[in-house]
Amino acid sequence: MKINIGLEIHCQMTGLKSKLFCSCEADYRGKQPNGNICPICLGLPGTLPLLNKKALENALMLSLALNCKIPDVVSFYRKNYFYPDLPKNFQITQYNSYQISSIGSGGTVEFDHKKVRIRRIQLEEDPGRLVYESGIATSNYTLVDYNRAGVALMEIVTEPDFDDPKDVKLFLNKLVSVLEHLGTCDTKLDGAVRCDVNISQENKKKVEIKNVGSFKEVEKALVFEISRQKSFGIKGIEVKSETRHWDDIRRITIQSRTKEEEQDYRYFPEPDIPAAYLGNELINSLTKQMPELPDARKSRFVENFGLSEQNAQILIDEKDTADFFEESLKLYDDAKEISNWFVTDLKVFINEANGIRSLKIKPSHIAELVKLVNQSTISRNTAKQILQQIVKSGEMPSVVMNNLKATKISNEEALIQIVDDVFAKETIAVRDALKNEKAINFLLGKVIQSTRGRADPKLTTELIRKKIASIST
Amino acid sequence: MITMDLLTSSAADIVTQIKKGYVSTEEYIAKIFDHIKKVESNVHAYISLNDLAIERAREVDSAVKRGEKLGKLAGIAIAVKDNICTSNMKTTCASKILEHYIPPYNATVIEMLEREGAIIIGKTNLDEFAMGTTTEFSRFKETRNPWDIERVPGGSSGGSAASLAAGETTLALGSDTGGSIRCPASFCSVVGLKPTYGLVSRFGLVSFANSLELIGPMCRSVYDTALMLNCITGRDSMDHTTLDVDTKDYTATITQGVKGLKIGLVREMISDVDEHVSKTIHDAASKFESLGANLNEVSIDSLQYALASYYTIAMAEASSNLARYDGVRYGIDMGPEGFEWNSYYTKVRSNFGDVVKRRIIIGTYVLSSGYYGKYYLKAQKVRTLIKQEFASLFKTYDLLIAPTMPILPFKIGEKTMDPLHMYMTDIDTVAANLIGIPSISIPCAFTDGLPIGLQIMGDHLSEELLIRAAYAFEEITDVKKVIV
Ligand SMILES: [Zn+2]
């Protein structure tokens, strides 16, 4: 059965200083309600929108990064509808029915050797926020906070090219990385990204899931919705064309309570913002300013550092991780060993902490850790233990090492003593080892265990073999 | 002290005397207020008066005494149409919706004029949200024509025009979306200029139809118009539709006359007008010839669609611009408690007058899906066509002349029940708005005690030429501009 999935993604331009049409701060979070507003973003009579040039450039950069066509002239439209979070009761956005007005269109993005087409990228203003103090169901009044009103949004619409929720996830990972590399949107901020998803299965009606609040939830919402539709199919119930919402607490999609009426938005060109002629000069200069994007960075990691494609992919999925990796590399030049930490032990911590910058670990820590292992000062197992501590404490590995007195035991005399102790306790295993080579590993494990990982495995194995040999003769 | 009639003199003369210390600004402003008190019960030009005007006047006087450098309009009284935002005074748009609204900022033109020392006397009446041709559709009062108080002053800047003609101010600001400066200028026998789109900032002008309208000077002489224009032009960082052009001194070339200029009399604008108007404008054309201009009749075929195009675009833009008046953030507060959003909006927005409601409804209709192409897009195509026809005419002609209004000022109430007929009166003024060219209306003659205005249009940014021609005409005619 064929499934078609399309996405409509809204990303706030969190990298901007000011809103899209006024000089209020783009960073509205944590401010006194209605404390981040001015006559323009409040739509007071007589005010006019002033297009933020930086926002236009950022949106152009994203369009270029997603291989979109850029029109010669960029224009804005008014989308008219009444809603209390809209100060002017219209939203300034872009619209492609009468002409190509949006900043990018007809793009393609490659991810994991697959392709998705980008229908359009457009620039628009975010509405304010409705606040229901005691919850939407029980509040008998609504508060409106316009601090967010007028914040620049990029709307990215894909064609319905996905057929697997896993691909959606991989695409979103790629998109996040592109946004991070461009510095336009910090997708980790609360409310910085929202995603509408539409699914249509062969011979079935289209279902839209609105307002999925984070990219991580999108795959889950899709998996749920597809299995819901499958179970309908088994029961012989028809799937209705409808709008649903993702309930991220109950982990289900639910039918929207308010039926979305067929709205007529009465789009028409915004008369207060003159159409912007872009010209090759601007596009060329933006292309020149374009930072290194994830694809190029990945290739560089593979070619210059000899990393596997898979490891390089994990590194570039989050810009912070890739940056951290390269900073570590500057301090200690062993790309393979350093990258191994990022794709194994450190990755677990990064995922748990929602990004490497939330951990206390610094590039210098990783550099030193790898160096200590390479110089055989500590064993890999000890290094793992040390890592566990430094992600929380931010201490230097050498400091932790000394505190643990964790220096690898490579002193032969000390080890002989420990090996003797183990042999005394594990008589059955010793007997086995006389006949079976593999039982040696068991004894080795015991020695390492009793030294909490500090015993040098190579030397210990040697000592065990010697002792076995001496018994058998 | 010299003796001059402070109620009827020009701004140019008064400012000279103020700067020399021969005229006390305080006395002058006080005199205007006294006169307002005397005539307002007949004229009804003002919605509100500025309590701080006398204080400002004293400041100008003490600046004169201290020998400080004074602005181009130091101490001059100016009446401001009440759809232009003033931070210390109500800005009502003559609407119940904004009856008590005080903006938190000044329009750019207000900032510029106050920087030049002008003193706001008060805020003048208009048709609600500038939608009208008579000022009868103010939600507060009907302004009367000072030349015949049974008649309309024209609109929508009727309060500004009437205050000038009645000696209640020396200068005035109006706004012109489809003739709203020029129509009342014509009906009240004063000068009114709608500048090139983008020459004057719209920041702080409450939007009716953004792509058509502009703020402009209204005065009792062409020279004052030039003087005032000098103070309000230029690129404004608060309005992206303003043009990046150098400011000019429009008084510098004002006496250069029209000798050798090619002037076209627009046939379509004069063919269907009142016979008195027609005769007067033909006479005016001859006067230009006598001043050395080359005069020809010209034809602009696409003008027959101008009115339809204008009203389609104006109403479409208005329907969107006026959506923000919902009583949630500012303006009238009807108590939202107990209302669901849409029913609260209905309650608040029922306070719009019928004229405004009609335009919102029509504007909503022409933008609706399925009708956009049929109406709005077609109107924009007509607009382009008209632009092209004018552009090709301006290759040959320096200026175009026509009547400002096709009819004489009519009786109050005469046309209020017939909106279509009312719309028709804009037939000669809307073209300039559609294509963004400058157009000036100047007093041309009186017939049976009623004023007739002459309209002069030019290519984009030809204000200098317009003012030269208007001044030359004014010099050889003697038409009354004030009645006190
Ligand atoms: Zn703002």
Which tens digits make up the pLDDT trace of A28-85?
Answer: 999 999 999 999 999 999 999 999 999 999 999 999 999 999 999 999 999 999 999 9
In this prediction, residues A172-199 reach a mean pLDDT of 94
Q: Give Cα separations from B134 to A18, B131, B169, B184, B408 (angstroms).
A: 43, 9, 20, 8, 12
Q: Which CATH architecture has domain B11-257+440-475?
A: Alpha-Beta Complex (3.90)
Residue type, B266: V
Question: B314 is written with which tokens?
Answer: 């104006």
Domains of chain B by residue range:
11-257+440-475
Length of chain B: 484
Query: If you count residue pairs, one on A and one on B, with CB atoms under 8 Å apart, how many are there?
Result: 102
pLDDT of residue A469: 85
DSSP string, B146-202: TTBTTB---SSSHHHHHHHHTTS-SEEEEEESSSTTHHHHHHHT-EEEEPPTTTB--
Measured between CA atoms, how close is A290 to chain B, in angstroms? 28
Domains of chain A by residue range:
3-285, 292-404, 412-472
Residue type, A97: S
Give phi and psi for B214, each to the nearest 5: -155, 155
State the pLDDT confidence band at B2, using cuts at 50, 70 and 90: low
B203 CA to centre of ligand 1 in angstroms: 15
Which is nearest to B397 in space by CA: B299, B270, B257, B273?
B299
Contacts of B197 in chain A (CB under 8 A): none
State the pLDDT confidence band at A402, using cuts at 50, 70 and 90: confident
Which is nearest to B160 in space by CA: B139, B140, B187, B137?
B187
Query: CB within 8 A of B172, min separation 6: which ones?
Result: B78, B79, B80, B81, B124, B157, B160, B161, B163, B164, B217, B218, B219
Q: Give Cα separations from A115 to A163, A302, B138, B151, B449 (angstroms).
A: 11, 21, 61, 72, 79
Place of tokens 């494990």: A445
In this prediction, residues B437-450 reach a mean pLDDT of 97
How many C-beta atoms surround the C-beta of residue A174 within 10 A?
Answer: 21
Percent of chain A with pLDDT over 70: 97
B377 interfacial to chain A (CB closer than 8 Å):
yes
Q: Which CATH architecture has domain A412-472?
A: Orthogonal Bundle (1.10)
A82 closest CB neighbour out of B93, B330, B345: B345
pLDDT of residue A257: 65
B160 is catalytic: no
Report the alpha-carbon distance of residue B316 to residue A158 in Å, rounded: 32
Report the alpha-carbon distance of residue A100 to residue A98 in Å, rounded: 7
Contacts of A43 in chain B (CB under 8 A): 324, 329
Contact by Cβ (8 Å): A460, A468: no
Indicate the SS3 state at residue A17. coil
pLDDT of residue A406: 53
In this prediction, residues A88-94 reach a mean pLDDT of 98
Beta strands A242-247 and B77-81, pairing class: unpaired
Residue A162: is its pLDDT beyond 90? yes
Number of H helices, E strands in chain A: 16, 15
pLDDT of residue A439: 82
pLDDT, greater one: B70 or A402: B70
Contacts by A108-115, CB closer than 8 A, 24 or more apart: A108/A66, A108/A67, A109/A66, A109/A67, A109/A171, A109/A174, A109/A175, A110/A295, A111/A167, A111/A170, A111/A171, A111/A173, A111/A174, A112/A167, A112/A170, A114/A167, A114/A170, A115/A161
How many C-beta atoms surround the C-beta of residue B80 within 10 A?
Answer: 30
Contacts of B104 in chain A (CB under 8 A): 39, 44
Place of tokens 């101490």: B75
B367 closest CB neighbour out of A39, A266, A273: A266
Highest mean pLDDT among A57-71, A219-233, A392-406: A57-71
Instruction: Convert the pLDDT of each residue in B70-100 to its tens digit.
Output: 999 999 999 999 999 999 899 999 999 999 9
Beta strands B171-176 and B191-194, pairing class: unpaired
pLDDT of residue B422: 85
pLDDT of residue B194: 98
pLDDT of residue A415: 84
Beta bridge partners of B297: B265
Which is nearest to B98 in space by CA: B419, B432, B353, B361?
B353
In this prediction, residues B378-399 reach a mean pLDDT of 98
Query: CB within 8 A of A38, min separation 6: which ones?
Result: A22, A23, A24
Sheet holding A77-80, edge to edge: A90-93, A77-80, A268-269
Question: A383 is written with which tokens?
Answer: 């290094």
Mean pLDDT taken over chain A? 91
Mean pLDDT taken over chain B? 96
Number of H helices, E strands in chain B: 16, 11
State the pLDDT confidence band at B421, using cuts at 50, 70 and 90: confident
Report the alpha-carbon distance of residue B160 to residue B140 in Å, rounded: 15
pLDDT of residue B27: 97
State the pLDDT confidence band at B202, using cuts at 50, 70 and 90: very high
B462 is catalytic: no
State the pLDDT confidence band at B263, using cuts at 50, 70 and 90: very high
DSSP string, A429-446: HHHHHHH-TTHHHHHHHH
Report the alpha-carbon distance of residue B90 to residue B329 in Å, rounded: 16
Report the alpha-carbon distance of residue A243 to residue B179 in Å, rounded: 48
Instruction: Convert the pLDDT of each residue in B158-192 to its tens digit.
Output: 999 999 999 999 999 999 999 999 999 999 999 99
Report the alpha-carbon distance of residue A91 to residue B360 in Å, rounded: 18
Which is nearest to B14 in space by CA: B157, B223, B230?
B223
B279 is catalytic: no
Residue A407: is its pLDDT beyond 70? no
Percent of chain B with pLDDT over 70: 99
In this prediction, residues A422-435 reach a mean pLDDT of 86
Indicate the SS3 state at residue A111. strand
Positive or negative CA dihedral for A405, A406, A408, A409? positive
A155 CA to centre of ligand 1 in angstroms: 21
Residue A241: is its pLDDT beyond 90? no
Residue A106: is its pLDDT beyond 70? yes
What residues of A are in the B interface, CB distance below 8 Å?
39, 42-51, 78, 80, 82-84, 87-90, 98, 141, 144, 146, 264, 266-268, 271-274
Report the alpha-carbon distance of residue B11 to residue B6 in Å, rounded: 9
Which is nearest to B403 in space by CA: B154, B216, B158?
B154
B350 interfacial to chain A (CB closer than 8 Å):
no
Q: Check A266 against B320: CB less than 8 A apart.
A: yes
pLDDT, greater one: B339 or B157: B157
Indicate the SS3 state at residue B57. helix
Contact by Cβ (8 Å): B323, B340: no
Instruction: Convert the pLDDT of each residue in B318-327 to its tens digit.
Output: 999 999 999 9
Give phi and psi for A267, each to the nearest 5: -60, 135
Contacts by B232-238, CB closer than 8 A, 24 or more apart: B232/B109, B232/B112, B232/B113, B232/B200, B232/B201, B233/B195, B233/B199, B233/B200, B234/B201, B236/B108, B236/B201, B236/B203, B237/A50, B238/A48, B238/A50, B238/B108, B238/B201, B238/B203
pLDDT of residue A473: 66
pLDDT of residue B387: 98
Residue A326: is its pLDDT beyond 90? yes
Residue A122: is its pLDDT beyond 80? yes
Interface with chain B: mutation pick from A77, A101, A268, highest number of B CBs within 10 Å: A268
Report the alpha-carbon distance of residue A446 to residue A467 in Å, rounded: 15
Which is nearest to A344 in space by CA: A376, A366, A372?
A366
Which is nearest to B181 in space by CA: B262, B275, B84?
B84
pLDDT of residue A259: 56
Residue type, A273: I
Measured between CA atoms, how close is B373 to chain A, in angstroms? 9
Residue A368: is its pLDDT beyond 90? yes
Tell me how many degrees the CA angle B336-B338-B340 measures, rounded to the nearest 5.
Answer: 75
Question: B262 is written with which tokens?
Answer: 């090619």
Q: Check B84 against A51: CB less than 8 A apart.
A: no
Query: CB within 8 A of B407, min separation 6: which ones?
Result: B273, B274, B277, B425
Q: Check A80 against B85: CB less than 8 A apart.
A: no
Q: What global pTM score does this model have? A: 0.90
Question: A306 is written with which tokens?
Answer: 């000899």
A88 closest CB neighbour out of B93, B324, B368: B324
Contact by Cβ (8 Å): B409, B451: yes
Contact by Cβ (8 Å): B469, B456: yes
Question: A44 is written with which tokens?
Answer: 């007071």
Give phi and psi for B290, each to the nearest 5: -65, -20
Report the alpha-carbon distance of residue B162 to residue A389 in Å, rounded: 83
Report the alpha-carbon distance of residue B211 to residue A79 in Å, rounded: 17
Q: Check A83 against B341: CB less than 8 A apart.
A: yes
Question: B47 is written with which tokens?
Answer: 């919605």
pLDDT of residue B327: 95
Instruction: Convert the pLDDT of each residue in A309-318 to its tens digit.
Output: 999 999 999 9
Which is nearest to B86 in space by CA: B203, B211, B229?
B203
State the pLDDT confidence band at A213, using cuts at 50, 70 and 90: confident
Query: CB within 8 A of B261, min separation 6: which ones?
Result: B292, B293, B294, B398, B399, B465, B469
Instruction: Convert the pLDDT of each residue in B26-68 to its tens digit.
Output: 999 999 999 999 999 999 999 999 999 999 999 999 999 999 9
Beta strands B294-298 and B262-266, pairing class: parallel
